[in-house]
Amino acid sequence: MKHRGYGRIIVTSSMSGRSGNQNLAHYSASKFGVIGMVKSVALELAASGVTANVVCPSTTSTPMIHNDEWYGIFRPDLEHPTRDDVEPTFAELNPLGVPWLPPEAVARAVVYLAADEGFTTGSVLEVGLGLSAFKP
């Protein structure tokens, strides 16, 4: 990319990389690290025509979330919780009251950064269901 004088590096982190999460220190730490790495790459490539940015989605409707283990964590009061059982619990975790993002919402953020004319680099685009409002 640097040799061609053009490129778009877009990396996915997480809203957990923007703030800590109880019982997920290892996950949050890795996501914070991704953001720091991309910001450093953005500085290193700034004059080359290559941009580097991060997308930080909130909870997204993928198999990472939709599985028996996660359902059990969020509804320990039930022996075999289902998606319907955990949906209200997930919806309470963010200001918009939406349980999880559709993957297409994350894809649109990536497309936005990919289509940028080169004026956005070192940025973090949060698709956070309103969680950004909690930080200063």
CA 123 – CA 118 distance, rounded (Å): 12
State yes or no: is 27 an active-site residue: yes
CA 50 – CA 70 distance, rounded (Å): 38
Element (H, E) at 109: helix 103-115
CA 104 – CA 6 distance, rounded (Å): 26
Per DSSP, the three-state class of 30 is helix
Angle at 63 between CA 59 and CA 64, to 5 degrees: 50
Considering 6, 27, 71, 112, which one is annotated as catalytic? 27
| CB distance 38 to 53 below 8 Å | yes
The tokens for 14 are 């997480």
Active site residues: 27
